[in-house]
Amino acid sequence: MTTQPALTMLSEDEQILRDSIKTFAQKEILPRVHKMDEEQKLDPDLIKAVFENGLMGIEVPFEYGGVGSSIFSAILTIEELAFVDPSVSVFVDVQNTLVNNALLRWATEEQKQKYLTRLTTDTVASYALSEPASGSDAFALRAKAQDKGDHYLLNGNKLWITNGAEAGLFIIFANVDFDAGYKGITAFLVEREFEGFSVGKKEDKLGIRASSTVELIMEDCVVPKENVLGEVGKGYKVAIETLNEGRIGIGAQMVGLARGALDAAMKHIVEREQFGQSIASYQGVQFQIAQLATEIEASRLMVYNAARLKDAGQPFLKEAAMAKLYTSQVAERVASKCVELHGGVGFTREYRAEKYYRDAKIGSIYEGTSNMQLQTIAKMLIRDYT
Protein backbone atom coordinates (compact mmCIF):
# COMPACT_ATOMS: atom_id res chain seq x y z
CA MET A 1 0.00 0.00 0.00
CA THR A 2 1.49 3.38 -0.96
CA THR A 3 0.90 4.90 2.47
CA GLN A 4 2.77 2.23 4.43
CA PRO A 5 6.27 2.86 5.87
CA ALA A 6 9.32 1.55 4.05
CA LEU A 7 9.84 -1.76 5.83
CA THR A 8 13.45 -2.01 4.71
CA MET A 9 14.26 0.88 7.05
CA LEU A 10 12.92 -0.86 10.14
CA SER A 11 14.41 -3.59 12.27
CA GLU A 12 12.27 -6.57 13.23
CA ASP A 13 11.56 -5.08 16.66
CA GLU A 14 10.63 -1.75 15.09
CA GLN A 15 8.24 -3.45 12.67
CA ILE A 16 6.61 -5.25 15.59
CA LEU A 17 6.26 -1.96 17.46
CA ARG A 18 4.78 -0.20 14.43
CA ASP A 19 2.28 -2.98 13.87
CA SER A 20 1.24 -3.05 17.52
CA ILE A 21 0.67 0.73 17.56
CA LYS A 22 -1.31 0.45 14.32
CA THR A 23 -3.53 -2.22 15.89
CA PHE A 24 -3.99 -0.13 19.03
CA ALA A 25 -4.91 2.94 17.01
CA GLN A 26 -7.44 1.10 14.89
CA LYS A 27 -9.05 -0.59 17.87
CA GLU A 28 -8.95 2.08 20.57
CA ILE A 29 -8.74 5.41 18.77
CA LEU A 30 -10.57 5.15 15.45
CA PRO A 31 -14.04 4.50 16.97
CA ARG A 32 -13.63 7.60 19.14
CA VAL A 33 -12.18 10.09 16.65
CA HIS A 34 -15.36 11.83 15.50
CA LYS A 35 -16.87 12.17 18.96
CA MET A 36 -13.65 13.48 20.50
CA ASP A 37 -13.32 16.04 17.70
CA GLU A 38 -16.92 17.17 18.17
CA GLU A 39 -16.62 17.37 21.97
CA GLN A 40 -13.11 18.87 21.82
CA LYS A 41 -11.95 16.44 24.48
CA LEU A 42 -9.95 13.22 24.71
CA ASP A 43 -11.89 10.24 26.01
CA PRO A 44 -10.69 9.52 29.60
CA ASP A 45 -10.82 5.79 28.89
CA LEU A 46 -8.51 6.30 25.92
CA ILE A 47 -6.06 8.27 28.08
CA LYS A 48 -6.03 5.36 30.51
CA ALA A 49 -5.43 2.91 27.66
CA VAL A 50 -2.53 5.01 26.35
CA PHE A 51 -0.82 4.75 29.74
CA GLU A 52 -1.59 1.05 30.11
CA ASN A 53 0.05 0.36 26.75
CA GLY A 54 3.26 2.14 27.72
CA LEU A 55 2.94 4.97 25.23
CA MET A 56 3.66 7.76 27.70
CA GLY A 57 7.16 6.68 28.68
CA ILE A 58 8.79 5.31 25.55
CA GLU A 59 12.31 6.63 26.17
CA VAL A 60 12.07 6.48 29.96
CA PRO A 61 14.29 3.74 31.49
CA PHE A 62 12.74 0.66 33.10
CA GLU A 63 13.68 1.77 36.62
CA TYR A 64 11.25 4.69 36.33
CA GLY A 65 8.46 2.61 34.84
CA GLY A 66 9.17 3.35 31.20
CA VAL A 67 9.75 1.21 28.14
CA GLY A 68 13.46 2.03 27.92
CA SER A 69 13.41 2.51 24.15
CA SER A 70 14.59 5.21 21.73
CA ILE A 71 13.50 8.41 20.05
CA PHE A 72 13.04 6.35 16.88
CA SER A 73 10.52 4.16 18.67
CA ALA A 74 8.77 7.30 19.90
CA ILE A 75 8.47 8.79 16.43
CA LEU A 76 7.18 5.50 14.99
CA THR A 77 4.50 5.60 17.68
CA ILE A 78 3.65 9.24 17.02
CA GLU A 79 3.42 8.61 13.27
CA GLU A 80 1.07 5.64 13.57
CA LEU A 81 -1.19 7.47 16.03
CA ALA A 82 -1.39 10.47 13.70
CA PHE A 83 -2.42 8.20 10.85
CA VAL A 84 -5.69 7.75 12.77
CA ASP A 85 -5.93 10.92 14.87
CA PRO A 86 -3.33 13.73 15.07
CA SER A 87 -4.92 14.94 18.33
CA VAL A 88 -3.98 11.74 20.13
CA SER A 89 -0.61 11.80 18.42
CA VAL A 90 0.37 15.22 19.78
CA PHE A 91 -0.94 14.25 23.22
CA VAL A 92 1.58 11.40 23.30
CA ASP A 93 4.26 13.44 21.50
CA VAL A 94 4.40 16.24 24.08
CA GLN A 95 4.70 13.79 26.95
CA ASN A 96 7.56 11.90 25.31
CA THR A 97 9.67 14.30 23.24
CA LEU A 98 9.26 17.39 25.40
CA VAL A 99 8.48 16.62 29.04
CA ASN A 100 10.07 13.20 29.54
CA ASN A 101 13.03 14.27 27.43
CA ALA A 102 13.60 17.36 29.59
CA LEU A 103 13.40 15.35 32.81
CA LEU A 104 15.73 12.64 31.55
CA ARG A 105 18.34 15.22 30.60
CA TRP A 106 18.02 17.79 33.37
CA ALA A 107 16.25 16.37 36.43
CA THR A 108 17.96 15.29 39.64
CA GLU A 109 17.67 11.65 40.67
CA GLU A 110 15.11 12.65 43.29
CA GLN A 111 13.03 14.46 40.68
CA LYS A 112 13.20 11.48 38.33
CA GLN A 113 12.08 9.10 41.06
CA LYS A 114 9.24 11.41 42.06
CA TYR A 115 7.93 12.48 38.67
CA LEU A 116 9.00 10.08 35.91
CA THR A 117 7.42 7.18 37.79
CA ARG A 118 4.14 9.10 37.69
CA LEU A 119 4.45 10.25 34.09
CA THR A 120 4.86 6.68 32.89
CA THR A 121 1.91 5.45 34.96
CA ASP A 122 -1.01 7.85 35.21
CA THR A 123 0.01 11.52 35.12
CA VAL A 124 -0.22 13.67 32.00
CA ALA A 125 2.37 16.44 31.71
CA SER A 126 2.59 19.73 29.86
CA TYR A 127 5.35 22.03 28.62
CA ALA A 128 4.75 25.75 29.17
CA LEU A 129 7.04 28.19 27.37
CA SER A 130 4.81 30.44 25.22
CA GLU A 131 3.17 33.59 26.53
CA PRO A 132 0.91 36.34 25.15
CA ALA A 133 3.94 38.40 24.06
CA SER A 134 6.46 35.62 23.44
CA GLY A 135 5.75 33.08 20.73
CA SER A 136 8.60 32.73 18.25
CA ASP A 137 10.58 35.15 20.42
CA ALA A 138 10.33 32.65 23.26
CA PHE A 139 12.98 34.26 25.44
CA ALA A 140 11.00 37.49 25.65
CA LEU A 141 8.81 35.75 28.23
CA ARG A 142 7.58 37.89 31.13
CA ALA A 143 6.69 35.23 33.70
CA LYS A 144 8.58 36.14 36.86
CA ALA A 145 10.10 33.94 39.56
CA GLN A 146 11.05 35.51 42.90
CA ASP A 147 13.45 33.78 45.29
CA LYS A 148 11.80 33.59 48.73
CA GLY A 149 14.37 31.49 50.54
CA ASP A 150 13.00 27.96 50.60
CA HIS A 151 10.69 28.49 47.62
CA TYR A 152 10.00 30.62 44.56
CA LEU A 153 6.92 32.69 43.83
CA LEU A 154 5.87 32.52 40.19
CA ASN A 155 3.68 35.17 38.58
CA GLY A 156 2.51 35.41 34.99
CA ASN A 157 0.50 33.74 32.26
CA LYS A 158 1.24 31.05 29.70
CA LEU A 159 -0.76 30.64 26.47
CA TRP A 160 -1.31 27.90 23.87
CA ILE A 161 -0.23 25.15 26.25
CA THR A 162 -0.84 21.64 24.88
CA ASN A 163 -2.18 18.96 27.25
CA GLY A 164 -2.92 21.63 29.84
CA ALA A 165 -6.48 20.50 30.55
CA GLU A 166 -5.40 16.96 31.44
CA ALA A 167 -1.96 17.61 32.94
CA GLY A 168 -1.01 17.06 36.56
CA LEU A 169 2.56 18.31 36.06
CA PHE A 170 3.86 21.32 34.14
CA ILE A 171 7.32 22.46 33.13
CA ILE A 172 7.03 26.23 33.55
CA PHE A 173 9.65 28.66 32.28
CA ALA A 174 10.04 31.93 34.21
CA ASN A 175 12.75 34.56 34.67
CA VAL A 176 14.51 34.97 38.02
CA ASP A 177 16.55 38.00 36.87
CA PHE A 178 15.34 40.19 34.02
CA ASP A 179 18.57 42.20 34.11
CA ALA A 180 20.37 39.03 33.01
CA GLY A 181 18.07 38.67 30.00
CA TYR A 182 17.63 35.14 28.73
CA LYS A 183 20.27 33.95 31.22
CA GLY A 184 17.74 34.52 33.98
CA ILE A 185 15.24 32.06 32.52
CA THR A 186 14.72 29.03 34.74
CA ALA A 187 12.61 25.88 34.37
CA PHE A 188 10.33 24.80 37.21
CA LEU A 189 8.38 21.61 37.87
CA VAL A 190 4.92 22.80 38.90
CA GLU A 191 2.21 20.47 40.13
CA ARG A 192 -1.38 21.31 39.31
CA GLU A 193 -2.27 21.48 43.01
CA PHE A 194 0.42 24.02 43.92
CA GLU A 195 -0.94 27.11 45.66
CA GLY A 196 -1.42 30.02 43.27
CA PHE A 197 -1.53 27.90 40.12
CA SER A 198 -4.62 27.49 37.94
CA VAL A 199 -5.64 26.43 34.44
CA GLY A 200 -7.52 29.09 32.52
CA LYS A 201 -9.39 29.30 29.24
CA LYS A 202 -9.35 26.39 26.80
CA GLU A 203 -8.90 27.49 23.20
CA ASP A 204 -11.54 26.73 20.55
CA LYS A 205 -9.31 25.64 17.67
CA LEU A 206 -9.50 25.00 13.93
CA GLY A 207 -7.88 21.57 14.13
CA ILE A 208 -6.55 18.93 16.55
CA ARG A 209 -9.62 19.88 18.55
CA ALA A 210 -9.53 16.91 20.92
CA SER A 211 -6.07 18.02 22.02
CA SER A 212 -6.42 20.60 24.78
CA THR A 213 -4.74 24.00 24.37
CA VAL A 214 -5.10 26.22 27.42
CA GLU A 215 -3.97 29.27 29.34
CA LEU A 216 -2.04 28.81 32.58
CA ILE A 217 -2.25 31.38 35.36
CA MET A 218 0.29 31.88 38.15
CA GLU A 219 -0.61 34.26 40.95
CA ASP A 220 2.04 34.00 43.67
CA CYS A 221 2.40 30.34 42.77
CA VAL A 222 4.50 28.63 45.45
CA VAL A 223 7.18 26.32 44.00
CA PRO A 224 9.66 24.55 46.33
CA LYS A 225 13.35 25.15 45.64
CA GLU A 226 13.82 21.44 44.95
CA ASN A 227 11.47 21.78 41.95
CA VAL A 228 13.91 23.79 39.86
CA LEU A 229 14.63 21.71 36.75
CA GLY A 230 18.31 21.95 35.87
CA GLU A 231 20.28 24.96 37.08
CA VAL A 232 18.87 28.35 37.95
CA GLY A 233 19.37 30.60 34.93
CA LYS A 234 19.81 27.69 32.53
CA GLY A 235 16.19 27.34 31.51
CA TYR A 236 17.01 28.61 28.04
CA LYS A 237 19.23 25.56 27.51
CA VAL A 238 16.47 23.26 28.74
CA ALA A 239 14.05 24.87 26.29
CA ILE A 240 16.35 24.88 23.24
CA GLU A 241 17.60 21.33 23.63
CA THR A 242 14.16 19.93 24.36
CA LEU A 243 12.49 21.63 21.41
CA ASN A 244 15.16 20.28 19.08
CA GLU A 245 13.89 16.76 19.76
CA GLY A 246 10.30 17.95 19.78
CA ARG A 247 10.59 19.03 16.16
CA ILE A 248 11.27 15.45 15.13
CA GLY A 249 8.08 14.42 16.91
CA ILE A 250 6.04 17.05 15.06
CA GLY A 251 7.59 15.83 11.82
CA ALA A 252 6.44 12.31 12.62
CA GLN A 253 2.96 13.62 13.39
CA MET A 254 2.80 15.37 10.01
CA VAL A 255 3.98 12.23 8.18
CA GLY A 256 1.30 10.14 9.88
CA LEU A 257 -1.34 12.76 9.12
CA ALA A 258 -0.37 12.91 5.44
CA ARG A 259 -0.43 9.12 5.22
CA GLY A 260 -3.87 9.04 6.81
CA ALA A 261 -5.22 11.65 4.40
CA LEU A 262 -3.87 9.80 1.36
CA ASP A 263 -5.17 6.48 2.67
CA ALA A 264 -8.67 7.95 2.95
CA ALA A 265 -8.42 9.43 -0.54
CA MET A 266 -7.13 6.18 -2.05
CA LYS A 267 -10.06 4.21 -0.69
CA HIS A 268 -12.46 6.78 -2.09
CA ILE A 269 -11.02 7.10 -5.59
CA VAL A 270 -10.86 3.33 -6.05
CA GLU A 271 -14.52 2.93 -5.08
CA ARG A 272 -15.90 6.09 -6.72
CA GLU A 273 -17.06 5.74 -10.32
CA GLN A 274 -17.65 8.47 -12.87
CA PHE A 275 -18.36 8.05 -16.59
CA GLY A 276 -18.55 4.30 -16.09
CA GLN A 277 -15.18 3.71 -14.45
CA SER A 278 -13.29 4.20 -11.21
CA ILE A 279 -11.83 7.69 -10.99
CA ALA A 280 -8.55 6.01 -10.00
CA SER A 281 -8.26 4.85 -13.61
CA TYR A 282 -7.86 8.41 -14.93
CA GLN A 283 -4.30 9.51 -15.59
CA GLY A 284 -4.91 12.96 -14.12
CA VAL A 285 -5.85 11.39 -10.80
CA GLN A 286 -3.03 8.84 -10.96
CA PHE A 287 -0.40 11.54 -11.43
CA GLN A 288 -1.73 13.43 -8.42
CA ILE A 289 -1.62 10.47 -6.04
CA ALA A 290 1.84 9.48 -7.31
CA GLN A 291 3.14 12.96 -6.51
CA LEU A 292 1.57 12.92 -3.04
CA ALA A 293 2.94 9.48 -2.20
CA THR A 294 6.42 10.53 -3.30
CA GLU A 295 6.38 13.63 -1.12
CA ILE A 296 5.16 11.60 1.86
CA GLU A 297 7.99 9.11 1.41
CA ALA A 298 10.55 11.91 1.22
CA SER A 299 9.09 13.40 4.39
CA ARG A 300 9.29 10.07 6.20
CA LEU A 301 12.94 9.61 5.25
CA MET A 302 13.81 13.07 6.61
CA VAL A 303 12.11 12.36 9.93
CA TYR A 304 13.63 8.91 10.26
CA ASN A 305 17.08 10.30 9.46
CA ALA A 306 16.81 13.01 12.15
CA ALA A 307 15.67 10.44 14.71
CA ARG A 308 18.46 8.01 13.81
CA LEU A 309 21.04 10.79 14.17
CA LYS A 310 19.66 11.73 17.57
CA ASP A 311 19.73 8.13 18.79
CA ALA A 312 23.32 7.80 17.55
CA GLY A 313 24.42 10.85 19.52
CA GLN A 314 25.21 12.75 16.32
CA PRO A 315 24.34 16.41 15.56
CA PHE A 316 20.76 16.58 14.33
CA LEU A 317 19.59 20.18 14.74
CA LYS A 318 19.63 21.08 11.04
CA GLU A 319 18.05 17.78 10.05
CA ALA A 320 15.30 18.15 12.67
CA ALA A 321 14.50 21.68 11.48
CA MET A 322 14.42 20.54 7.85
CA ALA A 323 12.18 17.60 8.72
CA LYS A 324 9.76 19.75 10.68
CA LEU A 325 9.65 22.40 7.94
CA TYR A 326 9.17 20.01 5.02
CA THR A 327 6.74 17.59 6.64
CA SER A 328 4.43 20.43 7.69
CA GLN A 329 4.42 21.73 4.11
CA VAL A 330 3.78 18.28 2.68
CA ALA A 331 1.04 17.46 5.17
CA GLU A 332 -0.83 20.63 4.28
CA ARG A 333 -0.52 20.00 0.53
CA VAL A 334 -1.50 16.36 0.81
CA ALA A 335 -4.48 17.03 3.08
CA SER A 336 -5.73 19.79 0.78
CA LYS A 337 -5.41 17.69 -2.36
CA CYS A 338 -7.11 14.73 -0.67
CA VAL A 339 -10.16 16.88 0.07
CA GLU A 340 -10.30 17.67 -3.65
CA LEU A 341 -9.90 14.02 -4.60
CA HIS A 342 -13.02 13.27 -2.56
CA GLY A 343 -15.01 15.81 -4.53
CA GLY A 344 -17.99 17.37 -2.80
CA VAL A 345 -18.12 14.82 0.02
CA GLY A 346 -14.58 15.78 1.01
CA PHE A 347 -15.97 19.09 2.20
CA THR A 348 -18.34 17.39 4.63
CA ARG A 349 -17.66 16.13 8.13
CA GLU A 350 -18.98 12.71 7.20
CA TYR A 351 -15.62 11.85 5.62
CA ARG A 352 -12.16 11.87 7.21
CA ALA A 353 -10.60 14.17 4.61
CA GLU A 354 -11.80 17.46 6.06
CA LYS A 355 -10.47 16.64 9.53
CA TYR A 356 -6.99 15.86 8.25
CA TYR A 357 -7.12 19.17 6.37
CA ARG A 358 -8.02 21.09 9.54
CA ASP A 359 -5.46 19.23 11.61
CA ALA A 360 -2.63 19.83 9.13
CA LYS A 361 -2.45 23.62 9.52
CA ILE A 362 -0.94 23.56 13.00
CA GLY A 363 2.19 21.78 11.74
CA SER A 364 3.67 24.98 10.35
CA ILE A 365 2.99 26.87 13.58
CA TYR A 366 3.67 25.02 16.83
CA GLU A 367 7.05 24.02 18.23
CA GLY A 368 8.68 26.58 15.96
CA THR A 369 7.02 28.24 12.97
CA SER A 370 8.21 27.53 9.46
CA ASN A 371 10.03 30.87 9.37
CA MET A 372 11.95 29.92 12.50
CA GLN A 373 12.92 26.59 10.95
CA LEU A 374 14.14 28.39 7.84
CA GLN A 375 16.19 30.73 10.00
CA THR A 376 17.76 27.81 11.87
CA ILE A 377 18.59 25.94 8.66
CA ALA A 378 20.09 29.04 7.03
CA LYS A 379 22.26 29.85 10.06
CA MET A 380 23.69 26.35 10.13
CA LEU A 381 24.36 26.34 6.39
CA ILE A 382 26.18 29.69 6.61
CA ARG A 383 28.14 28.50 9.65
CA ASP A 384 29.47 25.58 7.63
CA TYR A 385 30.94 28.03 5.09
CA THR A 386 32.50 30.51 7.51
Non-local CB neighbours of 65 within 8 Å, separated by 6+ positions: 57, 116, 117, 120, 121
SS3 state at 256: helix
- Residue 153: beta bridge partners? 146, 222
Cite the active site residues: 367
Which positions ≥6 away from 273 have C-beta within 8 Å? 279
Reduced to 3 states (helix: H, G, I; strand: E, B; else coil), residue 176 is coil
Distance (Å, whole) CA 293 – CA 289 = 6
Q: Residues 248, 71: contact at Cβ < 8 Å?
A: yes
d(CA 86, CA 252): 10
* Nearest by Cα to 142 from 158, 124, 164: 158
Which one-letter amino acid corresponds to residue 230? G
26-35 CB contacts, 8 Å cutoff, 24+ apart: 26/84, 29/81, 29/84, 29/85, 29/88, 30/84, 30/85, 32/85, 33/84, 33/85, 33/210, 33/355, 34/349
